[in-house]
Chains A and B, each alone.
Chain A
Amino acid sequence: MKLNVNTEIALTYLATRKKQTVIASMGVMFGISMFIFMQSLMKGTNDYFEKMSFNSTPHIRLYSENKVADNHMLVNFLKDPSEKILINPKQLIQTQGIINPYGIIKEVKANPQVANVTPQVTADVIYTSGSVQINGNVAGVNIDQEDKMFDVQSNMLEGDLHDLNKVNNGLLIGKGVADKLSLHVGDNITVTSGTGSPTIMRVIGIFATTIKQVDDTKSYANIVQAQNLLGKDRSYVTDIKINIKDYNNAPEVARDLETMTGYKAEDWVKANEQLKAAFKIRAVILNSVIGVILLVAGFGIYNILNMTIYEKIKEIAILKAQGFSGPAVTSIFLQQAIYIGLMGGIVGIICGFGITYMVSRIYIGAGTLKYLPMSFYTPHYIEAICFGILTTIAAGFFPARKAAKVDPVTIIRG
């Protein structure tokens, strides 16, 4: 035993007051395990929603945005920019989509951050089956690339998505569309776009995402078929969908692509602002709950140390008489707080992991979400023990300082 004498006294005090020590460290333990559990749940949920959003949204979407009519033609003609005839300019529809899409795709692919690029033709359509009509949209895609980027396969309920390459007028429809029009694989459906003529297509597969709005409206067709639906030529592309290597860089890459191509590049952060807002709100809720728990644990330690100091005030006085300085006495009591924090912290980490693991085994079965998404992320555990020890030090500091200020003369003389 080669302990420092302050440490030895601190440990003896803790050992002779087992009940208080255990209760105080349990406070810390609850705080830490809740911290870990809540952090894991939040990160797990956030990761899940992020992943979900990437199932339907690319990291960056490049598209041609309608522009407000400006007066450049007029200026060309009048040679006087101060002349203003256009007083209520309207949006001009961009009928050509993206000009030279395959050239742009080639350029985009040259960017080292870009992982995958695929063109898409989006068409607003009316699905008709029998006498029932519903609105929706057809995404004309290269299904193999689409599957690689968005894992379409995992959403498939019936049929084979690769048939889209084989069947000329094949269509993958959402489950909502299938239910509303009572369609099954192999049935025919009439699809009409605003600009093209009605086309009879065949249902070759049914998919279901967890997003009802998508399932009720969306369908996939071959890109060529979608161009036909709109009555457009083979170079007509409305969107270029881009996945990059690290999706956290999306805003910067989007800006680069925007300057490079001249088209609007929307990153997933902008497209999912409500998701980001939800993340923020959850973080606030979580941090306030954890804050309260740690605060309560801190008060527990504060109380117990304060009580110890009142009980031991004579012993503190005698230690000071024997030559223990103020800092030595502070160290004795601060160490008690730290050991309580450490014990509670270590048990709390184990408990936190246990709770997280158990909860991650709870079956909830909502849509494609089978189990609660929990993340096991090491920095949470490190953060937790740091917070725990910081709390205990803060809680132990004031009682310890009080102990250091005990005046031995007043106490010993009574």
Chain B
Amino acid sequence: MADIALKATGINKTFHDAVNLQVLKNISMEVTKGEFVSIVGKSGCGKSTLLYVLSTMDTDYEGSLDINGTTVTGKSLNDLARIRNESLGFVFQFHYLLPDFTCLKNVMIPGLRLGRLSYKEVEEKAYEKLKIFGVEEQALKKANKLSGGQQQRVAIARALINDPAIIMGDEPTGNLDSKNTGIVFDLFQKLSKELGQTIITVTHDDDFAKRSDRIIEMADGEIKSHGHK
């Protein structure tokens, strides 16, 4: 059996607003390395909530979560930040680039944060990543001067700067037209097939989901199908 990139065991999560609402019910799942997994389901079924639990940003849950064979449940916020920096990349529905910085800087910031490489090396690496996504010409432009598709590509390049074990996408194509959706999908596929990156995305887009390796279907806070072939 291939290596496990991410393993969730018995995840339960309840929102305690006016009434107690259990949004995740005893979820267990595994994702192997190099897999491209889509999580689908109706709005409100808990798929985004699950993704944020898997991302380590949301720590208010029961159950346990392993990333790359390390249990991250119960670690301090600072340790989790370090883990995110090192092993996780994020692509969101909105690009969330920092508008005051150039595209190149935006890509570099997580790399500089990690501090494993020198400034020069991070800069070169960031430029390489931009090249993969065909936005190297925009490298020195301010992030808010780019088109939506370009911004999303820069955002993906940013997610990759530290060569993370897992890339997580929260509707990464939700805000893009079909042409750009196609580009982003091709990029994700390239990442998983050629570079062996693990990808977990939450999506509404059925076409997008169908073309991925595996579809996890969710309904009412539970996994209906793990999609194993």
Interface residues, chain A, CB within 8 Å of chain B? 1-2, 5, 8-9, 12-13, 16, 314-315, 317-328, 408-409, 412-413
Docked complex: B83-133 residues within 8 A CB-CB of A: 83-86, 88, 90, 92, 96, 98-101, 105, 109-110, 112-115, 119
Q: Give the complex CA separation of A105 and B228 in angstroms.
A: 111
On whether the beta carbons of A409 and B52 are closer than 8 Å, the reply is yes
User: What are 11 sample pairs from A and B whose C-beta atoms fall under 8 A apart?
Assistant: A5-B113, A9-B98, A16-B100, A314-B96, A319-B98, A319-B109, A320-B81, A322-B113, A323-B83, A323-B88, A412-B96
Counting from the closest, the 10 A-B pairs by CB-CB distance are A323-B85, A5-B112, A325-B81, A16-B100, A323-B84, A318-B96, A325-B78, A322-B110, A409-B58, A409-B57
Task: Point out the residues of chain A lying under 8 angstroms from B81, CB to CB.
Answer: 320, 323-326, 328
Task: Point out the residues of chain B lying under 8 angstroms from A2, CB to CB.
Answer: 119
Q: Give the complex CA separation of A322 and B97 in angstroms.
A: 11
Give the nearest-CB partner of B48 in chain A: A413
Q: How far is the CB of A10 from chain B (nearest CB, A)?
A: 11
On whether the beta carbons of A323 and B57 are closer than 8 Å, the reply is no
Give the nearest-CB partner of B59 in chain A: A409
Q: Give the complex CA separation of A260 and B35 in angstroms.
A: 98
Q: Is the interface of A mostly helix, strand, loop or mixed?
A: helix
Q: Is the interface of B mostly helix, strand, loop or mixed?
A: helix
Q: Known: A2-B119, A413-B48. Is A326-B100 also a contact (CB below 8 A)?
A: no
Q: How far is the CB of B86 from chain A (nearest CB, A)?
A: 7
Task: Point out the residues of chain B lying under 8 angstroms from A321, CB to CB.
Answer: 55, 57, 84, 90
Q: How far is the CB of A309 from chain B (nearest CB, A)?
A: 14
Q: Give the complex CA separation of A2 and B114 in angstroms.
A: 15
Task: Point out the residues of chain B lying under 8 angstroms from A325, CB to CB.
Answer: 77-78, 81-82
Q: Give the complex CA separation of A326 and B101 in angstroms.
A: 21
On whether the beta carbons of A323 and B96 are closer than 8 Å, the reply is no
Q: How many A-B residue pairs have CB under 8 A?
A: 70
Interface residues, chain B, CB within 8 Å of chain A? 48, 52, 55, 57-58, 77-78, 81-86, 88, 90, 92, 96, 98-101, 105, 109-110, 112-115, 119, 158, 170
Q: How far is the CB of A168 from chain B (nearest CB, A)?
A: 89
Q: How far is the CB of B94 from chain A (nearest CB, A)?
A: 8
Task: Point out the residues of chain A lying under 8 angstroms from B96, CB to CB.
Answer: 314-315, 317-318, 412
Q: How far is the CB of B99 from chain A (nearest CB, A)?
A: 8
Task: Point out the residues of chain A lying under 8 angstroms from B86, CB to CB.
Answer: 323
Contacts A315-B99, A318-B92, A323-B85 known; 13 new A-B pairs at CB < 8 A? A12-B101, A12-B105, A315-B98, A319-B109, A321-B84, A322-B84, A322-B109, A322-B110, A323-B84, A323-B110, A325-B77, A326-B78, A412-B92
Q: Give the complex CA separation of A315 and B81 in angstroms.
A: 15
Q: Give the complex CA separation of A405 and B58 in angstroms.
A: 13
Give the nearest-CB partner of B89 in chain A: A322
On whether the beta carbons of A320 and B57 are closer than 8 Å, the reply is yes
Q: How far is the CB of A339 from chain B (nearest CB, A)?
A: 15
Task: Point out the residues of chain A lying under 8 angstroms from B88, CB to CB.
Answer: 323
Q: Give the complex CA separation of A9 and B84 in angstroms.
A: 19
Q: Give the complex CA separation of A322 and B99 in angstroms.
A: 16
Q: Give the complex CA separation of A9 and B106 in angstroms.
A: 10
On whether the beta carbons of A5 and B109 are closer than 8 Å, the reply is yes
Q: Give the complex CA separation of A324 and B113 in angstroms.
A: 7
Q: Give the complex CA separation of A75 and B90 in angstroms.
A: 102
Task: Point out the residues of chain B lying under 8 angstroms from A413, CB to CB.
Answer: 48, 52
Q: How far is the CB of A273 from chain B (nearest CB, A)?
A: 59
Task: Point out the residues of chain B lying under 8 angstroms from A8, CB to CB.
Answer: 112
Task: Point out the residues of chain A lying under 8 angstroms from B110, CB to CB.
Answer: 322-323
Q: Give the complex CA separation of A180 and B119 in angstroms.
A: 85
Q: Give the complex CA separation of A373 and B92 in angstroms.
A: 66
Q: Give the complex CA separation of A237 and B77 in angstroms.
A: 83
On whether the beta carbons of B78 and A318 are closer than 8 Å, the reply is no
Task: Point out the residues of chain A lying under 8 angstroms from B119, CB to CB.
Answer: 1-2
Task: Point out the residues of chain A lying under 8 angstroms from B84, CB to CB.
Answer: 321-323
Give the nearest-CB partner of A317 in chain B: B96
Q: Give the complex CA separation of A16 and B78 in angstroms.
A: 29
Q: Give the complex CA separation of A317 and B170 in angstroms.
A: 15
Task: Point out the residues of chain A lying under 8 angstroms from B99, CB to CB.
Answer: 315
Task: Point out the residues of chain A lying under 8 angstroms from B82, CB to CB.
Answer: 323, 325
